[in-house]
Amino acid sequence: MEWLFNVIHYVVPFLILLGVLVFVHEFGHFIVARLAGVSVSAFSIGFGKELWSKTDSKGTVWKISAIPLGGYCQFLGDADESSSTSDVDLSKYSDEEKKHLFATQSPYKKLAIAVAGPLFNYLFAFVVFFGLFFCVGSYDIPPVVSDVIENSPAKAAGIMKNDTILEINGKKVSDWSDINKEVSIAVDKVTLKISRGEQTLDINVPLVDMEYAYDESEKPIKRRMIGIKGEAKQFKIVKDNFQFIPSLKKSAEEVYNITDMTLRGVWQMLTGKRSGEDVGGIIRIAEMSGDISRTRGALDFLYFMALLSINLGLINLFPIPVLDGGHVVIYLLEIVSRRELNTKIRDGLFKMGLSFILFLMVFATWNDIRHLITRWFD
């Protein structure tokens, strides 16, 4: 029966998570295409063999397919939103149908459709955060050290119980979550500004791999930490977050902070400051979604979904051919030059982009497998 519990706790949450995020992303493309007068032939969650389908009044085939690792929004006559008039046999379509082909639209409309997917991911995350903050509130832990772990970098650096952390890496700290975020994005060390009585101290603390567990039944795994704890008994609901405007503001701040952390992490990898081992893929997402569903609650799962939605939207905006960001660059070039990009050049760019994405997927999967082996057998 253990395998059944693993399916429930890992596979089902992962499928729900991925299905929702893919639907949100592709629905962004879909709704803006419809508003722009572009006909949508198919809207699919998943790839491959069709498991279920339904055709709406405007001819769009809504379907669920067998391989649940993505999805697509197919426009009339096209495979995706990269086609131009040179890719489509216009003689196959009537004059009325030509008006609704993606390929015949202006680059401005194409740009709006391409951007819509990532923007809907951001909008979804903002709405989820707002719902959590407005309907539930948020829990804040004061940035006061309640305990320093023995033999930890924090202990060696001289951090003491009841120290108040004012800044970390030059950023002001108002809540313990600010500390967690900066530690998670740091590479080798963090710089803390600490208040201790009437003293203000600046302390550099290196990061080391330390064991922790999701709960008492979970085998300890390692994470880079400095070795300090916040006081769980000081959890408090921030009542202001039940109000409309403060909830909007906090939601916007959360979206900005996650975007900032993601960009900083990517930049650290590009500049060699952070190991490529941190690159994770589908397996890592499934593992994390399963861990959260097993050991935490629905609210944490929703927060994780919003966080991944931001990452999906941001990564799709990177100027890599095949991704939405690559399409955006092409349409901007066409707007400036007032002509379509040469077909051979465009095809060459998309082949390079596809090769890079495939390499990244293989690399991420290899990292995921190594991570699982370490977790299970180390």
**Residues annotated catalytic, as ranges:** 26
| Bridge partners for 42 per DSSP | 61, 74
CB of 45 closer than 8 Å to CB of 68: yes
CA distance 371 to 182: 22
Pair of tokens at residue 99: 């008006």
Residue 31's region, left for phi above 0, alpha for psi from -120 to 50, else beta, is alpha
CA distance 283 to 374: 14
- Name the H helices within the chain: 2-6, 12-35, 95-98, 107-135, 153-157, 176-185, 244-270, 282-295, 298-316, 324-337, 343-377
CA distance 179 to 227: 12
CA distance 262 to 308: 11
Q: How many CA atoms lie within 13 A of 18 on its CB side?
A: 26
CA distance 104 to 93: 12
